[in-house]
Structure 1
Amino acid sequence: MLAVLLLDANRAVTIGRLMEAIYGDDPPTTSRAQVQICISALRRLFAAHGADKVITTRSQGYAIHAEDGQLDAHLFESLLQEARRAREERDPDKAVTYYRQALGLWRGPALEGIESRIVQSAASRLAEHRITANEECIQLELDLGRHHELVGELTELVAEHPLRERLRGQLMLALYRSGRQAEALQVYRDTRTMMIEELGIEPDERLQQLEHAILTSDESLNLPEPPVQLGTEPAPAAAPPVSVPNVPGMLPTGIADFTGRAKQVDEIRQRLTVAPDGAARFAVPLITIAGKAGVGKTTIAVHVAHSVTEHFPDGQLFADLHGAVSRPTSPMQVLERFLRVLGVPGNALPDGLEERAEMYRALLADRRMLIVLDDAANEGQILPLLPGNPASAVIVTSRSRLAGLAGATHVGVDLFDSVQSVDLLARIAGVDRVQSEADAAAALADLCGRLPLALRIAGARLAARPHWNVGQLVERLEDETRRLDELKHGEMGIRASISLTYDSVGEEARRLFRRLAILDTHVFSAWTGAALLDCPFTEAQDLLDDLADAQLVETAGTGRGVHAQYRFHDLIRVFARERLAAEESTAERDAALSRVLGGLLMLTDTARRQEYGTGITVRREAAAWSPSPDLVGRLVAAPIEWFERERATIVSGIRQAAQAGLTELCWGITVNAVMFFESRAYLDDWRETHELALEATRQAGDKRGHAAMLYSMGSLSAAEQRYGDAQRDMERAVELMREVGDEQGFALAVRNLGFLHQMNGRFEEAAAHYERALKIFRSTGSLAAAAYTLHSLSALRLAAGDLDGAKLLLAEALACSRAGNSRRVSAQVLNRMGRTHLQAGEPALAADAFGEALAVVREISDPVGEAYVLHGLGVARLQQGRLGDADAALHRALSLASTSSQRLVEVRVLTALGELAISSGEPEQAVARLRQAATLCRTIEVPFQETQTLMLLAEALHAAGDRASAEETRAKALALADRLDPSVARRLREQAARSPRSADPEGVTAPAGGA
């Protein structure tokens, strides 16, 4: 407890964070009380030493007060800042004094023995700061000629940190300057052996160059010129050399197993080696290579640079700008290094950045040199380092795109594909080994997110453990909570690489980054960022763009502005979840999730109302986060397009709401989404979300929500032609809606129950249910729902032969649907009008109505509606004698019905194709089609439709010459008709006496579950 408070000294620490620090993700029910007990105990201890007001109570938590200089961690950071300031001011003695004071504060590992994940995460950061400071201090002391004193300390540090190559280089240099050349070379040999055995790689270019310099006793290893002492008159500056004494070759070593990237390599080589035309010939060739951490930007840059050295005979310069750390390398530091390499002595270096840049450009004015600037933070780091001579060229790598560099060629580097990923694994771990476990290798590549650094680490781990098979490493990586721990080998680690980028962005961007991991969807929209942070949308969008610039998220899809979407790389998501667990309390996470789900409820409700009119009303309590009406309007201006973009978020949001026990949000979002699922034929999403919400409402005892879900489940069963299941759920929904007093929901369920009676041929019961629902819809002003009910009543009038009555109902339905702004219901009414004209023997008018309906269903991308309309259009063309057009429309309808699993419309299309075959003089083909339709009718239990199909099949059998089967089928149809309403059975017998083809060409239509 004390450690957590001190790590955030003088800032409030929430009780939730304290509970999580002590107990992790599974705090006991007494955890809050235990926190208070701990606080009381600490206060007593401090009071016993005369400090009774050290811990204060803050809103939702506590804070510990610490004066300046009381905490070693604060003092350590303060001394480091002083040391680095003195180093920048070229006062190395003073800098070393501050460094040693800072390092002297350490008395072993920080916070040792405290097992809390939050505490140990902070301890790791402190330890990294410590060793970095040690390296910086030793470098200054080496420059001051204190090599004799440093050998012992460096030997201990190398033993403690064996994979830090900078320490090993410093030890080699200290030994060499102490006259111990053989021992210095032995350090290099030991380093090389260890790295090859442990990592499967050679030491870096700097160590290799240092070994070569030691072997040749290079003068560059001698002590640098003594620094100018403050307060003394500097010696006259020597004129800078007019020529470069040696051709600098500062490029790091290339890698032997370079894989893929042919397109990027060719593009960069082309820009570096082919003389440009026009104004471009006066500009320095500048290439930026951008991509996320670990994607291989530096590898590409170094590989290309080595491949074009013959085009730059005056040498190559290289600098690591450390753009991902909090204190990137300054252009002043880089220019000092470059100028020294170019032959400028220390006492001739200008003091100002502008003067150094001028000297640098002057030295390169008549040279052809390649400059590689690795890991740039921003354009400001780059501009002073650009030469003025277009004969030279520059390659820059960065995690940002650096769009502000005028005239640059921007090369993006993405992940490997599957083939390249496995190829890299094979090159590192062994071809035979990887090929013998091809499936496991492919799975390993996927678990590494096809990120080159992760693949290289995985390959190195396999190479270092020949007794492992590939499947073993796959099993270890499948545990997401340990994946980043497993993707570490020596000093190579995914976590460390991502952490550098994470630490480089602002505090609010980091907060958004980790909270995005709350969402269980890989793609997230910009508005979710505003909900997660409870901030204005524009602020969240700026932060998302900051994260995208830093390659912590990437843009997804083609949406722009308010419709912009982003996603995580798999491994970055794992890191974000780690930071979420370590830095956000459970209460903060729960509140953020509630804000997102509340926003999702509001947006789905608005989109549904705008596209389909009213449905079951979802009560929206005062939302924890409420977007502005302007933002909501812009987001759902095109509801169907918005739904397509957000479908994954909606499904995962419903799932998360169920898991979090947010029952009203769960079923509210679900019932709002049902019309979109139905119209777009997303039956799997419909089923999954409703099963989740149904169970959530049952467990919570939420009767209204349970009724709404039963209604929607019944609608799903009807859409899938499982009418027995549909009737059971709809009857139960009617009962519950009556119990809870939900008039609108009751009417919707009653209407759909009427549809089920209609499908079973019980037309009088269907009409009674429709009339009852219509009365409620008219009283509540639910125009779209009233329109669909009028449309359903018109089907009953058609079945009774009342064409004029059907037309009157449809005219009213069309007016209601348009007033209610429901395009889908309008299309269904137009479709029914076409059916009415067909039954009235008006095929031309029918074709016009179907054409109008077809335009609407295609506009709203309703494949199910399109199948129904094309069926009607095919029948109209058949009645007009346009058999070719009829065949084309019906086959397109059959394809849509099959892919949408719409068996009812499939029955009708097969029946129409059978009639087309009869008209075309192909009775055998008609028999095959109609038998297929009759079988489907029995499967989905639609006796009215089956009766009509059997009557037509009897005619086809008669035309095919099979009179016995024709009479048998006709008798079966009439027996089935006797089980329907008497009036319906009488009408079907009259139709059979005339011709089966004079029957209603459709019969009934499918329900609209949420209309």
Structure 2
Amino acid sequence: MSEHARVEYRVLGPFEVLIGGQHLDLGGHRRQIVLACLVMEAGRVVPVNRLVTAVYGEHPPASARSQVQICVSALRRSLGADGRIITRDPGYLLEPAGDDVDLKDYELLLGDARTAAAQGRRDDAVARYREALGLWRGPALEGIDSSLLRAAAGGLTEQWLTAVEDCVDLELDLGRHRAVVAELTGLVVAHPLRERLRGQLMLALHRSGRQAEALDSYRAARRTLIDELGLEPGEWLQRLEHAILTSGSDRPVSADTAAATGAVPRMLPTDIADFTGRAEQSADIMTRLGGARERRAVPIVVIAGTSGIGKTALGVHVAHRLADDYPDGQLFADLRGHDSHAAGPEKVLERFLRALGVPGGLMPEGLDERAERYRDLLAGRRMLVLLDNAGDESQVLPLLPGDPRTAVVVTSRGRLGGLPGAVHVDLGVLDRGHSVTLLSRIAGDGRVRAEAGAAAELAELCGRLPLALRIAGARLSARPHWTLRQLAGRLADESRRLDELSHGTLGIRASISMTYDNIGAAARRLFRLLGILDAPDFAGWAAAALLDRPVEQARDLLDELADARLVEAVGGPGRYRFHDLIRVFARERLAMEESADAAGAARERALGALLFLTEEAHRRLHGHDKLQVRSAAPRWTMPGDTVGHLMPEPLAWLEEERSSLVAAVPQADRAGAVELCWELASGAVTLFEQRAYLTDWRDTHEVALAAADRAGDRRGRAVTVLSIGSLALVENRFADARDRLEEAAALFAVIGDAQGVAIAGYHLAYLERVDGRLDEAAGRYQAVLPVLRGCGDLAGAAYVLHRMAQVELDRGDTGHAEELLREALVLSRRVGSRRLEAQALHRFGHMYLETGEPGAAIEPFEAALAAVRELDDQIGQAYALSGLGLAHLRGGDHDRAAVALTGARSLAVDHGERLLEGRVAAGFGELALARGEFAGAVRELERALTLFRDIRAGTFEAWALELLATARTAMAEPGGVDSVTKAG
């Protein structure tokens, strides 16, 4: 098989695939079903859940998703490199570029035919219709054993019959009545209940001079309808028979002259008088369904959203606005899909048929017979069908018309991905402005304007959920003596909020309960356990920890909750959140249905999983374990392959879980899990430091320190104080940093933790160096290095070595500095820490600058920059760019120097790195000196000096003063350019 062989997909008849003209053996029936689903939706994503339903029906095995993945892999191999099955969230997409899909060709030809007919080009229209109909080789998808695909095939067959009828109408108009008699005779035999076909045959026979046969055909139709359905022929067919009887064979009779008036049902509920917002969604639906455009298939719009979000209100409102576009009537049914008394499609069809004029005594028996009669009555009519509150596709599929002149709007809590070609409109909560507007329309505009602040607070307490807002507004309307502030105060108590959001027959709790009661037991348990989490959103791993199950199982249950709209997808793939009121309901169910011990164990697993993954992210990011000795806090561990799948990019994972980390620290404190509290705070520093989330760093550590102190946990206090001291270093608050680091060193000494003392010691050594006390700095570094080596902390040793090298550079001993840096580089690479490696390379660059070799400095600075960019370490990038700028500057490339220093300044300012900002300003001052721009040099160097003095950085202050003196001298002496250039 050629790699680029043309592929033909055929669904209009027995399902088959041809490659290079040769039939492809697709293998087992599951592969055939999966590929048929993808072909039916070619060019559109088919969710995995729909593929699972197509293969296994409503009760799939636990391995269903993996089996579908296996099928897709096998199909990709069979179809070759251009087999074109693409993975795209939330499923797969068949992209048949350069290939043939008979269904797509058929739809395009039908569109051309209808366009030609609308433009009066009847001959062209018939030619296109016949070309399209010629693509059919038999019943659609014949041989495919799938109830979902059988329903789709039934829809295709209905469209095919409508296309045949439309084509025959044109041919009758063109006088080709004799040519269509044989075809119509066969079609009537195959579809004896299809009154439009019967009428066309009667017309063709009559116009061919065969009046008696035309009337015989009517009598045969009447017998069949009475025998099969207990029905007389429809009014249109009766009028046609009368027209043939009274016209004589030489007088033409048209379908128009026999058109029936028919029943015109108007079943829509009353429009919502205070309908608010949703302008964008309304316009979208109106655009898709409005007007009298020719269409290839019945347009279906699914309005999806959680309970109380306003789906019905939007559906009814839009249906009323569309009523003029559907003059033949509007049908409505509440399917009660999430109720224990859901409306079956057979009962709904009975209501619809009665509304369409079918008497009760002549009602067809059985779902299929009613659905066929329903589609027949809607054929040729412009009608709108609104199906409210659908539970799943099985409720909707039998209620879909066949004629593309009709349109369907469905509301559902799920997306109903199994409805072929449906367009989905997902509803979220109202924005703040519309929430307050809705309150004012119910409770009174004057009241709301008088308490604007309380109204905004009330809207937020209602979660901006339309149902909750309506209940709140109704309660205020019923109690004119209440203030909005009073009701907001009542809602502020979360334990009473759902009790307060109840009025008459309206209630949030009852609305959510209906959905909760109709999901599986495992999904219900996950739902209530998710109420434990304080984070605003969560991922599958958190659900797995809560349940103590593998991640894949938890994700399947999350998908079930998402389908039921009890949680909503948010942010990146696989992340979910609660609506505020649904979270309240989840916590109610948690308290009612889970013991305190079970809830506590689940909480401990979730927090332990977060701690485990945070430590894994640190290890994968830096190539070594956390520096501090771990506490006995429990970890909920996961296999390495699972962790690798969760965090292909560790820093990105930490960023995604930032809100979880910030929320987990106080949650652990409230639960009395002290060690979890301070370890989570300490672990989160990996993110806080690299992304400069300094407020998060401070807030979490204040909580952790208070928790450790209340519990008398000396290790917890030591670790937390050490981290607070590190924060002070980052913020250049060197005096505060020294106080905290000295306290941490003393605490670690008391508990006998030599490693902790060493870590505090090398931070203090940095402060000595910043103060210009190089001998003291060297002494501290030399003291801690053997301790770190002795306890196996090679990463800490590498850090100290490159810091010692900087001290030696400051002293002017470049030889010793180079030895230390080479050892630091070896250790950094041994532990696999790209960050430490980047720091050592950075020091190498500065060493070459000190030795007057700026050209040699460029390579290590560029290597350091590449490493920190790989880590997405923006502060590291700022330092590398600063060094690179100096290397270019001293090498004479002023333009590149300016570019690098500009990048460094931008990052330093963005992240509040005042020490680095001062160093960059000094670099710009040096650049201005080299360019002879002495006034600019003075401005930059004065700025640098101010920054260094503010943070008491003595060493750097001396450097800035030296450069500033040079710049001022150059300004004062016209011949000073030469001396400045020499100094640069």
CA contact (8 A) 1:556 1:566 kept: yes
Match of 2:315, SS state, is helix
Task: Give the match for residue 494 of structure 1.
Answer: 508
Q: How does 1:325-724 map to 2 (within 5 A)?
A: 325-559=339-573, 564-612=574-622, 613-619=624-630, 623=634, 625-724=636-735
1:811 aligned onto 2:825 = no
Percent pairwise identity: 52
Match of 1:960, SS state, is helix
CA distance in 2: counterparts of 1:757 and 1:718, whole angstroms: 12
- Structure 1 pair 285–358 and aligned structure 2 pair: CA distance change class (3 A): same
Post-superposition CA distance 1:11-63 (Å, at most 9, x none): xxxxxxxxxxxxxxxxxxxxxxxxxxxxxxxxxxxxxxxxxxxxxxxxxxxxx
Task: Give the match for residue 64 of structure 2.
Answer: none
Q: How does 1:750-789 map to 2 (within 5 A)?
A: 750-789=761-800
Match of 2:684, SS state, is helix
1:239 aligned onto 2:250 = no
What's the offset of the Cα at 1:687?
1.2
Moved more, 351-360 or 433-442: 433-442
1:268 aligned onto 2:285 = yes
Match of 1:450, SS state, is coil
What's the offset of the Cα at 1:558?
2.2
Task: Give the match for residue 83 of structure 2.
Answer: none
Structure 1 residue identity aligned to 2:617: A
Higher relative contact order (CA 8 A, sep 6+): 1
What's the offset of the Cα at 1:685?
1.3
Structure 1 residue identity aligned to 2:557: L
- Structure 1 pair 367–948 and aligned structure 2 pair: CA distance change class (3 A): closer
CA contact (8 A) 1:951 1:996 kept: no
CA distance in 2: counterparts of 1:245 and 1:795, whole angstroms: 93
CA contact (8 A) 1:241 1:344 kept: no
CA contact (8 A) 1:794 1:809 kept: yes
Task: Give the match for residue 953 of structure 1.
Answer: 964
CA distance in 2: counterparts of 1:774 and 1:439, whole angstroms: 60
Structure 1 residue identity aligned to 2:284: E
Structure 1 residue identity aligned to 2:580: D
CA contact (8 A) 2:534 2:663 kept: yes
Structure 2 residue identity aligned to 1:959: A
Task: Give the match for residue 872 of structure 2.
Answer: 861
Q: 2:920 aligns with which of 906, 909, 917?
A: 909
What's the offset of the Cα at 1:786?
2.0
Post-superposition CA distance 1:207-245 (Å, at most 9, x none): xxxxxxxxxxxxxxxxxxxxxxxxxxxx99742662586
What's the offset of the Cα at 1:586?
2.0
Structure 1 residue identity aligned to 2:405: A
Match of 2:275, SS state, is coil
Match of 1:504, SS state, is coil
- Structure 1 pair 586–624 and aligned structure 2 pair: CA distance change class (3 A): farther
What's the offset of the Cα at 1:691?
1.8
Match of 1:372, SS state, is strand
Moved more, 341-350 or 863-872: 341-350
Post-superposition CA distance 1:793-814 (Å, at most 9, x none): 1101101111222222222222
Structure 1 residue identity aligned to 2:591: A
1:734 aligned onto 2:748 = no
What's the offset of the Cα at 1:694?
1.9
Moved more, 498-507 or 244-253: 244-253
Post-superposition CA distance 1:64-110 (Å, at most 9, x none): xxxxxxxxxxxxxxxxxxxxxxxxxxxxxxxxxxxxxxxxxxxxxxx
Post-superposition CA distance 1:296-325 (Å, at most 9, x none): 111111112112223323322111111122
CA distance in 2: counterparts of 1:327 and 1:543, whole angstroms: 25
Match of 2:301, SS state, is strand
Task: Give the match for residue 821 of structure 1.
Answer: 832
Unmatched tracts of structure 1, length 5 or more? 1-234, 967-993, 1000-1011
CA contact (8 A) 1:615 1:745 kept: no
Post-superposition CA distance 1:336-369 (Å, at most 9, x none): 2222333333343344222322232233234332
CA distance in 2: counterparts of 1:373 and 1:236, whole angstroms: 28
What's the offset of the Cα at 1:683?
1.0
What's the offset of the Cα at 1:878?
2.1
- Structure 1 pair 388–618 and aligned structure 2 pair: CA distance change class (3 A): farther
Post-superposition CA distance 1:637-664 (Å, at most 9, x none): 3210110111111121122112211122
What's the offset of the Cα at 1:594?
0.2
Structure 2 residue identity aligned to 1:239: L
Structure 2 residue identity aligned to 1:566: Y
Post-superposition CA distance 1:229-270 (Å, at most 9, x none): xxxxxx997426625864221110001222222222222223
What's the offset of the Cα at 1:995?
8.7
Structure 2 residue identity aligned to 1:248: P
Post-superposition CA distance 1:847-884 (Å, at most 9, x none): 22222222222222222212222221222222123333
CA distance in 2: counterparts of 1:962 and 1:900, whole angstroms: 39
CA contact (8 A) 2:292 2:325 kept: no
| TM-score when normalising by structure 2 | 0.70
CA distance in 2: counterparts of 1:620 and 1:941, whole angstroms: 36
What's the offset of the Cα at 1:838?
1.0
Task: Give the match for residue 932 of structure 1.
Answer: 943
What's the offset of the Cα at 1:723?
2.0
What's the offset of the Cα at 1:910?
1.9
CA contact (8 A) 2:432 2:464 kept: yes
CA distance in 2: counterparts of 1:276 and 1:739, whole angstroms: 83
Task: Give the match for residue 894 of structure 1.
Answer: 905
Match of 2:403, SS state, is coil
CA distance in 2: counterparts of 1:240 and 1:541, whole angstroms: 55
- Structure 1 pair 678–622 and aligned structure 2 pair: CA distance change class (3 A): closer
Q: 2:854 aligns with which of 808, 830, 843?
A: 843
Task: Give the match for residue 290 of structure 1.
Answer: 304
CA distance in 1: counterparts of 2:599 and 2:421, whole angstroms: 44
CA distance in 1: counterparts of 2:796 and 2:980, whole angstroms: 36
What's the offset of the Cα at 1:452?
2.0
Q: 1:883 aligns with which of 886, 890, 894?
A: 894
CA contact (8 A) 2:661 2:680 kept: yes
CA contact (8 A) 1:894 1:906 kept: yes
What's the offset of the Cα at 1:289?
0.9
Post-superposition CA distance 1:809-854 (Å, at most 9, x none): 2222222212222122122112111111111111122222222222
CA distance in 1: counterparts of 2:741 and 2:576, whole angstroms: 40
CA contact (8 A) 1:247 1:314 kept: yes
| TM-score when normalising by structure 1 | 0.69
CA distance in 2: counterparts of 1:443 and 1:745, whole angstroms: 48
Q: Tell me the C-alpha RMSD between the 2 structures.
A: 2.7
Structure 2 residue identity aligned to 1:494: I
CA distance in 1: counterparts of 2:601 and 2:387, whole angstroms: 44
CA contact (8 A) 2:768 2:774 kept: yes
Moved more, 343-352 or 495-504: 343-352
Match of 1:590, SS state, is helix
CA distance in 1: counterparts of 2:691 and 2:650, whole angstroms: 12
CA contact (8 A) 1:429 1:463 kept: yes
Match of 2:732, SS state, is coil
- Structure 1 pair 634–237 and aligned structure 2 pair: CA distance change class (3 A): closer
Match of 1:661, SS state, is coil
Structure 2 residue identity aligned to 1:344: V
CA contact (8 A) 1:784 1:821 kept: no
CA contact (8 A) 2:628 2:719 kept: no
- Structure 1 pair 828–273 and aligned structure 2 pair: CA distance change class (3 A): same
CA distance in 1: counterparts of 2:868 and 2:944, whole angstroms: 25
What's the offset of the Cα at 1:400?
0.2
